[in-house]
Amino acid sequence: MDDLDPSLTQQVVSTGTAFAIVALRSTQALSRLRVDQEAATPWLRERGARWFYALAPNGAEIEWRARMQFNGGEDPATGSAAGCTISYLVAHNAVASGAQIHLQQGVEIGRPSDLFLSAKLISAKVTDVRVAGSTVSVAMGHIFQP
């Protein structure tokens, strides 16, 4: 519990797919993260989410890191969760409306991704959610038709 950021409440957020957004105090806490998906699933289902998306500040207000673990694996870049995250951060005034942030994911698994996020808060509603970025290529292929 000491690793949770007391200034940001945990919340289920959806911009199409629901994630339980968990704000941690530091990237050190984020690096220690181990989600027991079997134990977490009932709690998540009761709240309408499928996964936890944990994040922590990485220095400045515009620099963040995140992790999304699932069933023994980890996603190096979760665009759908990143959209929920910027919505959450802007709604909680942790990021200014319209500001762009840099979110890194996949660092702990050696597949760093760089996501750039922004959203606006207009009349107490989050709008104009934007997610862009790049990941590490791990495979290429071609589809051949006989």
Q: Give pLDDT tens digits along the chain (146 positions).
A: 689 999 999 999 998 899 999 999 999 999 999 999 899 999 999 999 999 999 999 987 789 999 999 888 899 999 999 999 999 999 999 999 999 999 999 999 999 999 999 999 999 999 999 999 987 676 778 888 77
Query: Tens of pLDDT along 40-65?
Result: 999 999 999 999 999 999 987 789 99
Domains of the chain: 11-134 (3.10.310.10)
Report if pTM > 0.75: yes
Per residue, what are the HEC states of the chain? CCCECCCCCCEEEECCCEEEEEEECCHHHHHCCCCCHHHHHHHHHHCCCCEEEEEEEECEEEEEEEEEEECCEEECCCHHHHHHHHHHHHHCCCCCCCCCEEEEECHHHCCCEEEEEEEEEECCEEEEEEEEEECCCCCCCCCCCC
| Sign, Cα dihedral of 90, 117, 3, 19 | positive
